[in-house]
């Protein structure tokens, strides 16, 4: 039986409505799936950032933008597994030490502590960092930002501490000068010379007989002194600054 025009219109409307219902049901099912199976996790590596919607695992079905991937993410963002769910994590906007620790260690936790220490000008936050080099770098960056030379002492890595103090240090007297550490072989040094080996690894070749050594501490730096028969030899630790004072 041939349908008249109105019946054909009603049938078309029914078909369109049915398609809409089916598509809506599929979208709802996918949404529910993504919120459950698409976000489940046990470890951070199972999660991927999916900006700006959040973080999901590899089972997530992206029906909006094609292939699974991150886009439009700000620097410092990553995905973490928290309470068995993938979640977006922003290292630059944490509000507490506990927030930083949500990253579960690694680079983004370090980045979080570093950003928080700089925002709050609080060096004690650097002590929360696990790796010694990263902790040293935190103190180094905070010292550079604030111009506070005393913070360089928190950089336990010798090279970072040397760089930190060298950048910020102003000699206590204009009689100090910069002199590179002796790089020759102290076992084959010239006759009547001696290699002065300082606590930071700096070496100074002098022609003298050493009598004693001592340290001079200040709030910002330490000077190690070798006292000889002919002169005293001052070296600001973790810099190339030296001073020779004769009798």
What is the full DSSP assignment across 165-201? HHHH---SSTT-EE-PPP-S-GGGPPTT-EEEE-TTS
CA 144/CA 138 separation, integer angstroms: 10
pLDDT at res. 18: 54
What lies within 8 Å, CB to CB, of 32 at 6+ separation is none
CA 194/CA 208 separation, integer angstroms: 7
Beta strands in the chain (DSSP E): 48-50, 54-56, 77-82, 85-90, 177-178, 194-197, 203-206, 210-217, 222-228, 231-236, 241-246
pLDDT at res. 57: 52
pLDDT at res. 51: 67
Contact 238, 158 (CB under 8 A): yes
CA 126/CA 140 separation, integer angstroms: 10
0.75 surpassed by pTM: no
pLDDT at res. 213: 94
How far, CA to CA in Å, does 114 sit from each of 79, 82, 141, 143, 236? Answer: 19, 22, 8, 12, 28
CA 165 to chain centre: 20
Residue labelled with tokens 């009547």: 192
pLDDT at res. 1: 52
Residue labelled with tokens 């100074």: 204
CA 141 to chain centre: 10
Contact 104, 80 (CB under 8 A): yes
Contact 241, 232 (CB under 8 A): no
Tens-digit pLDDT string for the chain (247 aa) = 555 556 555 556 555 555 555 555 554 554 555 555 556 677 777 777 766 556 665 555 554 444 444 445 666 677 777 777 777 777 777 778 888 887 777 888 888 889 899 888 999 999 999 899 999 999 999 999 988 888 888 998 988 988 888 888 877 666 888 899 999 999 999 999 999 999 988 999 999 999 999 999 877 788 999 999 999 999 998 888 899 998 6
């Amino acid at each position: 039986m041939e349908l008249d025009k109105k019946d054909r219109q009603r049938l078309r409307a029914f078909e369109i409505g049915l398609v809409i219902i089916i598509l809506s049901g599929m979208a709802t099912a996918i949404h529910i799936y993504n919120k459950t199976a698409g976000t489940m996790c046990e470890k951070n590596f199972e999660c991927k950032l999916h900006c700006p919607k959040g973080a999901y695992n590899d089972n997530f079905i992206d029906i909006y933008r094609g292939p699974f991937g991150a886009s439009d993410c700000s620097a410092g963002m990553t995905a973490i597994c928290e309470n068995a769910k993938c979640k977006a994590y922003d290292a630059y906007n944490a509000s507490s030490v506990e927030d930083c620790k949500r990253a579960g260690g690694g680079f983004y936790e370090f980045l979080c502590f570093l950003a928080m220490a700089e925002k709050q000008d609080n060096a004690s936050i650097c002590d929360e960092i696990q790796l010694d080099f990263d902790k040293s770098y935190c103190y180094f960056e905070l010292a550079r930002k604030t111009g506070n030379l005393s913070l360089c002492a928190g950089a336990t890595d010798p090279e970072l501490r040397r760089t930190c103090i060298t950048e910020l240090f102003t000699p206590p007297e204009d009689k100090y000068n910069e002199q590179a550490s002796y790089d020759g072989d102290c076992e084959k040094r010239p006759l009547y010379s001696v290699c002065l080996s300082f606590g930071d690894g700096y070496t100074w070749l002098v022609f003298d007989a050493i009598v004693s050594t001592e340290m001079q501490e200040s709030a910002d730096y330490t000077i190690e002194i070798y006292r000889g028969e002919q002169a005293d030899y001052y070296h600001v630790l973790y810099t190339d600054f030296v001073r020779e004072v004769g009798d």
